[in-house]
Structure 1
């Protein structure tokens, strides 16, 4: 079944349920146990189960039928190469938006970051590293938490609002990327370089590290789509 760790409950419940769906513990069209039963089995509150189910339904994995229960969604029509191509096309668009927002955020943050902010970012980067083996949802949440903190440090409220508006789609797409794409590059060094640049207050280096992080993935996806 998996084991819950300390930290945010909903992403862990989502990850556990997603893994059980992946292992086909419940078949397409089969009804899941109700909220009360799942909450008791996982040792969490009903609200956490409800939110995790909502996220999985949004991703098209579950079908919530009010009055009837929650069912495993039937396999989507778009599968195989077509589905992969559509995922990669959406991933390209999402990363283009990320670049537009996060490059400027890094440049501004380098001028405004304080020592206590660096410690918070360093803790966030450690958490990102620790979550790499904890499933796609938990890893993506830790990664986005790190990047969101940098956007917040830009001091630009409009930039932050734009990032937050894109966050749900960004999260969904990144989880799909981690789950389905093979041979993804390790961009840990680019993240460490970004933190170092911010600590030095070097805006040019912060921009370069951000571009290196995003372009490393973008170039691979562009090449895959072109093929």
Structure 2
């Protein structure tokens, strides 16, 4: 087998494993089959499987746990890489990246929102308020993320949506830390004005409102 052929085969195995992970065959947090099992499933050699798994581990999609096996840590390479970068990043830098994405998303959403987008935003905003009232941090973090995802979706830019999805897990983690388990009243920030500006079709105001709550590192 030539080097080129071997490299191509490894890429094919990487692609197949990535597709199976993305399809949910092995959910995030679950353990993938053992190396011998993968050899049988994929019909390739042990070294090819080993190289493919190593590549996906380096990309942050998989993680080997000594004495236990290899686990799925993300559903795609971009998410894995970004999550790893965000996890090690300075808080201020993380907020700057959020601001860059979310401010532009809000601005575009004000220009491009549809009636369906507005309905989704209203529902997400209401759900976020209800989630805060529960006092459950995990519930609130999910509801907060849903609202921001709805804003990004209303921007109707597939590349922006994909990039935001890749950092969403890291953003949720930062929000959970900022809110804290006590969910004190002083840490809550109303997002109604962001939605109102998008509804009014005012891109400058939407961008300003989206950026306002990201000025302070302690706020989510």
Q: What TM-score do you get using the length of structure 2 for normalisation?
A: 0.55
- The 3-state SS of whatever aligns with 1:214 is coil
The alpha carbon displacement at 1:90 in A equals 4.0
Distance 2:183 2:150 in 1: 28
- The 3-state SS of whatever aligns with 2:156 is coil
Match of residue 201 from structure 2: 201
* Cα separation, partners in 2 of 1:177 and 1:53, compared to 1, 3 Å: farther
Match of residue 111 from structure 2: 111
* Cα separation, partners in 2 of 1:151 and 1:99, compared to 1, 3 Å: same
Q: What TM-score do you get using the length of structure 1 for normalisation?
A: 0.54
Match of residue 169 from structure 2: 168
Match of residue 9 from structure 1: none
- The unaligned stretches of length 5 or more in structure 1 are 1-49, 55-62, 68-86, 222-227
Match of residue 189 from structure 2: 187
Match of residue 154 from structure 1: 155
Distance 2:67 2:196 in 1: 49
The alpha carbon displacement at 1:214 in A equals 1.5
The C-alpha deviation readout for 1:151-206, integer Å capped at 9, x for no partner, is 11111111111111111111122212222688653311xx1111111111000110
The alignment covers a number of residue pairs equal to 142
Alignment of 1:114-125 (within 5 A): 114-125=114-125
Structure 1 or 2, whichever has the larger Rg, is 2
- The 3-state SS of whatever aligns with 1:211 is helix
* Contact 2:128–2:143, Cα closer than 8 Å, also in 1: yes
